[in-house]
Structure 1
Amino acid sequence: MEEQKKILLAQLEQMFQELVNKSEEYKCRVLERKSLLDTVIAQIQEKRDQPAVEFLMDVGRILNSYEAAKGPIPEPVSPGMQKRIERLSEKRQQVVDMVAKFK
């Protein structure tokens, strides 16, 4: 019983660390995307007071910046990790139930 507890705690710690890492990656990607969009907005605002011809000459560069910023943001927790969390939660409940039977 104590061995199962240690194994589950180790798995929980590993899962927690993976979630923290994924959370940090997700935040970095979102902040990077925000920064790119802020740059695009600043470029458009900078060009809005210029003659239309100059704006149109820079549209390609502005659109390239936008293309880099508009891609999908990945999910913070992958479906695979979600399944692992669910399995670990089920195992935890089984151990809790077994301990309750022994008491």
Structure 2
Amino acid sequence: LQTRLDQIGSVTIPEVNDQDSNGVLDTEQLSEAEQTIQAAEEAKKIVANKLTEITSDNLINPSEKTELEKLIETLETAKAEASTKLNSVPDGTTGKDALQT
């Protein structure tokens, strides 16, 4: 009986990887947040480039203003989506703090 008892190994409990129990890996949520932040950063570059282009002659016509307003709206939407995704990542997920800075 002692031999049989000695052969019974212990069980290691795996780490929690779905802190918010939503059925999605926390690392996947983090990856999605990072992608949306990158999209917002790209939208910001597009706005900045367009602003430089439009203001290069120190003149802004109505169509240029409208085009810039649409790009800014896209940027704000991207920022809001990124914020929502980042806020959905559970606290304590490795890498979340890096995305918030």
Note whether the superposition's TM-score is higher than 0.5. yes
Cross-structure match for 1:100: none
Residues 53 and 70 from structure 1, CA distance in 2 versus in 1: closer, same or farther, beyond 3 angstroms?
closer
Instruction: Tell me whether 1:74 sits opposite 2:75 in the alignment.
Output: no
Equivalent residue letter for 2:88:
S
Find 1:36's aligned residue among 39, 43, 50: 43
Equivalent residue letter for 1:64:
K
How many residues are paired up? 76
Question: Which structure 1 residue ranges, 5 or more long, are not aligned?
Answer: 86-103
Residues 26 and 53 from structure 1, CA distance in 2 versus in 1: closer, same or farther, beyond 3 angstroms?
closer
Q: What TM-score do the two structures reach when normalised by structure 1? A: 0.57
Equivalent residue letter for 2:30:
S
Cross-structure match for 2:3: none
Alpha-carbon distance between aligned partners in 2 of 1:22 and 1:53, rounded to the nearest angstrom:
41
Partner deviation per Cα, 1:31-74 (whole Å, 9 max, x = no partner): 001101110010000111225244x3311111111101113221
Question: Which structure 2 residue ranges, 5 or more long, are not aligned?
Answer: 1-8, 94-101
SS class of match (1:52): coil
Q: What TM-score do the two structures reach when normalised by structure 2? A: 0.58
Determine which structure has greater relative contact order: mean sequence separation of CA pairs < 8 Å that are 6+ residues apart, divided by chain length.
Answer: 1
CA contact (8 A) 1:40 1:62 kept: yes
Residues 21 and 52 from structure 1, CA distance in 2 versus in 1: closer, same or farther, beyond 3 angstroms?
same
CA contact (8 A) 1:40 1:65 kept: yes
